Structures are given as C-alpha cells and as structure tokens.
C-alpha cells in the first residue's frame, strides 16, 4: 500500500505531516495513537503552544506519540479527526481528508482547544497559520466567548481592573476598539536586557488585534515576542478648569492592554496587515501605490497583540467643584481639545494637486 503521509519540517511549527501522494476528500489517512488515559485523567500539559493530548467524546483521552500527533493546527483545515468505536467499545481517532489534497501539501486540522482564559488563548495557544480565516488562537472561540463574555462592569483579569474611580471603567470590546482606532500612536512597554523600556509607535487595529510594525532587526520587536508587554493609549478631549487648583482635570479616553505579541510570518497575511494599516489612515490609497515587493515584506516585522485582556478608562464630564467654591469669582468650565489637519505641503515633482483622503480617527 502506498504511503499516504510523511513527516518533515513545517513552516507553521516544528515538524508537520504532509501528503505523500494526492489524497481524495473523505480518505482515511492515519490513526491518532499514543498513551491512553481514563475518564477525567490527562497528562501534565505544558503551556508552550504545543499539545499532543486529544480528548475523546467519552471522557477518555490519548497523549499522542505517533505521526498523527505531528499534524499542525490550521484555522482553514484540510483534515479533521473522526472517532470510531472498536468492537470492544474503545474509541479510536483517525485523521480524514476534508477535501482533495495535493501531494506535498501540509495536513492541518482545527484543534479547537478547550481554553477558557482569553489571556492564555491568545498567548500560550496563539495561532499563526496565516490563513485568511485565522482567528489568532488554537482555542475553541465559541467556548472562549461563552466563558469570557464581558459586560461593562466586568474586568477580564485582575490586572486590567480599574481601581481608582472605577465608574470610569469600560470593559466592553466596542469601547476599547473605538479608542484604539481613534489614536494614531500607542506606547509599548516591555523588558529588554533586564531594563524596562516604553516606546511610542504607530499602531492600527484589525478585528480583535492591535498591530505594530518595524524593521526586522529591531531589538524591541524581537523582545516583544519573548515576554509580556503592556500597551497604553491616551487621548485628551478637553481641559477642565475648576475654581480650585486640585479640582482641575481633563476629559480623556485611555486604554491599557496586557499580553504577548505574536509575529505575523505568512507573507500574504503580512501584506493584508500592511494594507489594513495604509487603508486605515488613507482610505483608497493602497491600490494606487507601487506594488509592495517581496524583499520589502521580508524586511518588515509585523506583530499583533489580542485585545482580550484590556480595559478602558474615560472621563467625559464637566467641572466638579466643592459646593463652598461655587461662588468663587473666576471662570470655570471645559475647553474642548481637537486634533485637526493642517495645510498639505506637496512633494516636489508631484503633478497632481488632489490631496489624498486622510482619516486620523479610524473609529469614525
């Protein structure tokens, strides 16, 4: 019988499983084998983005040690695991082709891990398969949403909980995304060589992720993939002038994001991310630009961090003076702070006088 699958180095992660010949949709490929565990039992799992333990529908499980366990995760899978019951009642799992697969194509299936923590789902179990449908995690996002569904007054973690003036907190995804979109620059804090660094950088959002980019050799971008990071954003909307010094304030919108950045390595996914960056600031401009070169894509590092562990804090109010000071003879109130674009300065040699559309606030 001709060999159906082979194992070799994968562009996704470590070693992977590949089609040794053309495979037909529905074809039974290889059994998932390994040490058996009883109901409720499982081996100690390492939170390093790799798991070989397969839970079966009867509550038992298999700690994979065979070739089938090498099959990587993919959000747009070409295979799936199907259970079969033997005559003795024991469940077995086999990898089946979901569609026709060409010889040499990597075999991937959707793990849909049962992870209930958003922080773990998008850091320890992050996905970088590069598929257009990539959801950013190997976890089952339906279960994740059910477990991590958040309301306005529920922080996703202890470190995101707003303790000072908690009535100003916003934990819902819409509020957080709107502030991320409204700001062109964020500050990224991380540790480099034992010292804390906080670097301002351009950012943009696509879906549930905040993206940043930079030169491939940049030490900060390399450090961000090796440890935890904190991203902060702050926008000033108004100056609040009170009748006493200590009651002066500002109206503002701010966001704090915790987590770990993951690199976008797939060339097509990287190009989509850069397109979202340009189109977010300059709608309609990407198609008019000189096409990006493969060499340019290779020279850029693109990182993203999920917005699952984030909180916002907002002040949008007037003056809060003490009652005893209300009669003090001095002006009090709010002076709005606005960001406006100045007159465009055309580069030498440009024939057109039409200034491209610009959208600094991408929440609108």
User: Is the CA virtual torsion 252, 258, 264, 268 positive or negative?
Assistant: negative
Q: Which residue did the predictor score with more confidence, 95 or 364?
A: 95
pLDDT of residue 48: 46
* 133 within 8 A of 76, measured Cβ to Cβ: yes
Joined tokens for residue 164: 């000072």
Tell me the DSSP string of 150-197.
--TT--SSGGG---SSGGGEE-SHHHHHHHHHH-SEEEEEEEETTEEE
Q: Are strands 195-202 and 185-192 parallel, antiparallel or unpaired?
A: antiparallel
**Partners of 130 in the beta sheet?**
none
95 and 226 fall within a common domain: no
| Residue 102 counted as domain residue | yes
108 and 193 fall within a common domain: no
Joined tokens for residue 95: 């990898």
182 and 313 fall within a common domain: yes
For residue 111, what are the CA distances in angstroms to 114, 171, 194? 9, 29, 36
Mean pLDDT of the 97-122 span: 85
Mean pLDDT of the 156-174 span: 90
pLDDT of residue 116: 67
Q: Which residue did the predictor score with more confidence, 144 or 238?
A: 238
Instruction: Mark which of 88, 106, 121 sits at the end of a domain.
Output: 121
Joined tokens for residue 43: 């081996």
Residues whose CB is less than 8 angstroms from the CB of residue 62 and which lie 6 or more positions away in sequence, other chains included: 32, 33, 34, 35, 36, 37, 53, 54, 56, 93
Residue with tokens 């299936």: 109
Confidence of residue 52 (pLDDT cuts 50, 70, 90): confident
Asked if pLDDT for residue 151 goes beyond 80, the answer is: no
173 and 272 fall within a common domain: yes
177 and 311 fall within a common domain: yes
311 and 254 fall within a common domain: yes
pLDDT of residue 37: 84
Number of domains in the chain: 2
| Residue 295 counted as domain residue | yes
| Residue 147 counted as domain residue | no
pLDDT of residue 147: 61
Range of the domain at 242: 165-319+331-336
| Residue 315 counted as domain residue | yes
List b or e across 107-143, with b for residues whose CB sees 16 or more CB atoms inside 10 angstroms: bbbbbbbebebbbbbbbbbbbbbbbeebbbbbbbbee
Q: What does the angle CA 16 – CA 131 – CA 7 come to, to the nearest 5 degrees?
A: 10
| Residue 91 counted as domain residue | yes
59 and 174 fall within a common domain: no
Mean pLDDT of the 285-312 span: 92
What percent of the chain shows pLDDT beyond 90? 55
Query: Is 249 in a helix, a strand, or coil?
Result: strand
89 and 171 fall within a common domain: no
For residue 273, what are the CA distances in angstroms to 9, 24, 132? 26, 34, 11
pLDDT of residue 39: 79
pLDDT, tens digit, for every residue of 202-232? 999 988 899 999 887 677 887 888 889 999 9
What percent of the chain shows pLDDT beyond 70? 92
201 and 285 fall within a common domain: yes
169 and 49 fall within a common domain: no
| Residue 131 counted as domain residue | no
pLDDT, tens digit, for every residue of 71-99? 999 999 999 999 998 877 888 999 999 99
Mean pLDDT of the 316-339 span: 94
| Residue 306 counted as domain residue | yes
pLDDT of residue 188: 96
Q: Which residue did the predictor score with more confidence, 50 or 78?
A: 78
Rounded CA-CA distance 93/78 in Å is: 16
- Assign residue 18 the CATH number of its domain: 2.170.270.10
pLDDT of residue 44: 63
Range list of H helices, 54-140: 118-121
Asked if pLDDT for residue 160 goes beyond 80, the answer is: yes
Asked if pLDDT for residue 157 goes beyond 50, the answer is: yes
Rounded CA-CA distance 270/77 in Å is: 20
pLDDT of residue 333: 95
User: Is the CA virtual torsion 268, 274, 277, 283 positive or negative?
Assistant: negative
In this prediction the pTM is 0.64
- Assign residue 201 the CATH number of its domain: 2.30.110.10
Mean pLDDT of the chain: 88
Neighbouring CB atoms inside 10 A of 5's CB total 21
* 312 within 8 A of 169, measured Cβ to Cβ: yes
pLDDT of residue 148: 53
105 and 47 fall within a common domain: yes
pLDDT of residue 149: 53
| Residue 325 counted as domain residue | no
55 and 199 fall within a common domain: no
pLDDT, tens digit, for every residue of 236-273? 999 999 999 999 999 999 999 999 898 888 888 899 99
């Amino acid at each position: 019988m001709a060999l159906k699958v082979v194992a070799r180095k994968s562009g996704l992660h470590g070693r992977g499983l590949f089609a040794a010949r053309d495979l037909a949709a529905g074809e039974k490929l290889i059994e998932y084998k390994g040490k058996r565990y009883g109901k409720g039992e499982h081996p100690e799992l390492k939170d390093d983005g790799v798991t070989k333990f397969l839970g079966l529908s009867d509550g038992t499980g298999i700690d994979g040690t065979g070739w089938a366990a090498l099959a990587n995760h993919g959000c747009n899978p070409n295979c799936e695991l199907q259970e079969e019951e033997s005559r003795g009642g024991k469940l077995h799992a086999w990898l089946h082709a979901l569609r026709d697969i060409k010889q040499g194509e990597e075999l991937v299936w959707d793990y849909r891990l049962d992870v209930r923590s958003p922080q773990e789902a998008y850091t320890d179990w992050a996905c970088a398969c590069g598929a257009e449908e990539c959801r950013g995690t190997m976890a089952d996002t339906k279960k994740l949403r059910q477990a991590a569904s958040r309301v306005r007054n529920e922080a996703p973690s202890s470190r995101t909980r707003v303790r000072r003036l908690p009535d100003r907190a916003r934990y819902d995804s819409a509020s957080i995304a709107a502030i991320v979109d409204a700001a062109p620059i964020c500050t990224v804090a991380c540790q480099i060589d034992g010292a804390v660094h906080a670097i301002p950088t351009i950012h943009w959002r696509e879906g549930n992720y905040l993206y940043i980019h930079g030169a491939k050799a940049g030490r900060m971008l390399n450090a961000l993939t090796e440890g935890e990071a904190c991203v902060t954003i702050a926008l000033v909307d108004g100056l609040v002038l009170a009748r006493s010094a200590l009651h002066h304030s500002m109206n503002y919108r701010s966001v704090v994001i915790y987590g770990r950045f993951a690199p976008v390595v797939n060339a097509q996914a990287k190009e989509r991310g850069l397109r979202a960056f340009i189109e977010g600031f300059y709608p309609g401009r990407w198609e008019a630009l000189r096409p990006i070169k493969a060499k340019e894509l290779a020279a850029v590092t693109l990182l993203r961090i999920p917005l699952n562990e984030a909180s916002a804090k907002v002040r949008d109010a007037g003056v809060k003076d003490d009652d005893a000071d209300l009669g003090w003879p001095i002006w009090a109130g709010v002076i709005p702070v606005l960001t406006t674009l100045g007159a465009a300065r055309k580069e030498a040699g440009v024939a057109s006088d039409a200034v491209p559309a610009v959208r600094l606030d991408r929440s609108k």
